[in-house]
Structure 1
């Protein structure tokens, strides 16, 4: 892995590889589509994470260490949701209904042994949701990221940042995205999801924090 020379601070935008029998994952397709975009003085860097407990966080840590992003937004697929979903909180539990892409299916294990019970996103999720809505894309704030690899990554990301990874003031969070039309219903067209995520990134870069939402950990 080689550092990409940047004249702008980075926004790290990650998606996952396909899982659960799907041949494509819209989270990765969205990230790819936004690679290299300039957003409010930042450059978007897209990267793929494996849908694997443990390995996903190892890869994410390497990316944060390499690129030192000011903002990290991880994307993940959530079949059954009809809107972009900005996650408020990640919890310190792995409880997999299905196996990950390496066959692991942890039940009631911590993401970080001894870590706090939960971390809130440090991104301005309300402002980001409004921005995506203004762009004509359904978007909501979600109160649960589940207990599969998506929550694993959200909690792990926030633990990394709380532990001092990344540059000073680095912020992070997670957004679930629906299926594409060819995957099932409810769904959103890929082009609409790209537009909504792009608008949300602008809001994240321009808004230091939501007026009504703090960031931190709960025990």
Structure 2
């Protein structure tokens, strides 16, 4: 079983391309015979993590890929690390705005993704989908969910499910005319998520290739 999650709209937007991209990926993967469940998470600190943990406990997935929006980026971002810090620049959809609070009190400072992010990057490049390995998932609800996911998976018995987080750009269709903001089609986002899922299922040990950052 594969669990994919996206988010509801936030910050005044009428839609969130992460959810549309997850539904696109679900359709692609189901057509290929994979068992996939898609879950839309609330853009709310705490509640989003609870909904995700409940789904993991109920479905017992072998792979969990959470997806969120990073408006302003121009490619899929395979997030490498989640940090134990909530620091909200804007309120969430329930009006919460935590500042310098831990996602999990007494939890470790960070967790690394257990997705094969380097192998997935190479597969995405071969598929012609813009992608990168990202060194930060921010400190908003996306990072909150990413950290909560990895903390939950770290506590499960072997064989431990693999999991991680992908940020997607704006949907090309939602960018206002005349705006210079980059975007990507929902179709390509969904295709890219499906590539990451396939790569994770087929790659027990990640590839060793350069995808770091200078700053």
Per the TM superposition, whether the score is higher than 0.5 is: yes
Offset, 1:40: 7.7
Alpha-carbon separation, structure 1, partners of 2:2 and 2:32:
10
Alpha-carbon separation, structure 1, partners of 2:109 and 2:25:
33
Residues 144-203 of structure 1: per-residue CA shift (max 9 Å, x gap): 0000000001110000011117x6221100000000113332101111111111111111
Alpha-carbon separation, structure 2, partners of 1:158 and 1:111:
11
Cross-structure match for 1:5: none
Cross-structure match for 1:115: 107
Offset, 1:39: 8.3
CA RMSD of superposed structures (Å): 1.7
**What TM-score comes out, normalization by structure 1 length?**
0.88
Contact 2:66/2:146 (<8 A) preserved: yes
Count matched residues: 203
Cross-structure match for 1:83: 75
Cross-structure match for 1:32: 23
Alignment of 1:206 onto 2:202 = yes
Cross-structure match for 1:189: 185
Contact 1:84/1:139 (<8 A) preserved: yes
Return closer, same or farther for 1:137/1:33 CA change in 2, 3 Å cut-off.
Answer: same
Alignment of 1:134 onto 2:126 = yes
Alpha-carbon separation, structure 1, partners of 2:191 and 2:127:
7
Bigger shift: residues 112-121 or 198-207: 198-207
Contact 2:24/2:187 (<8 A) preserved: no
Alignment of 1:170 onto 2:161 = yes
**What TM-score comes out, normalization by structure 2 length?**
0.90
Residues 36-87 of structure 1: per-residue CA shift (max 9 Å, x gap): 5248874221111100000000000110011101000000000000000000
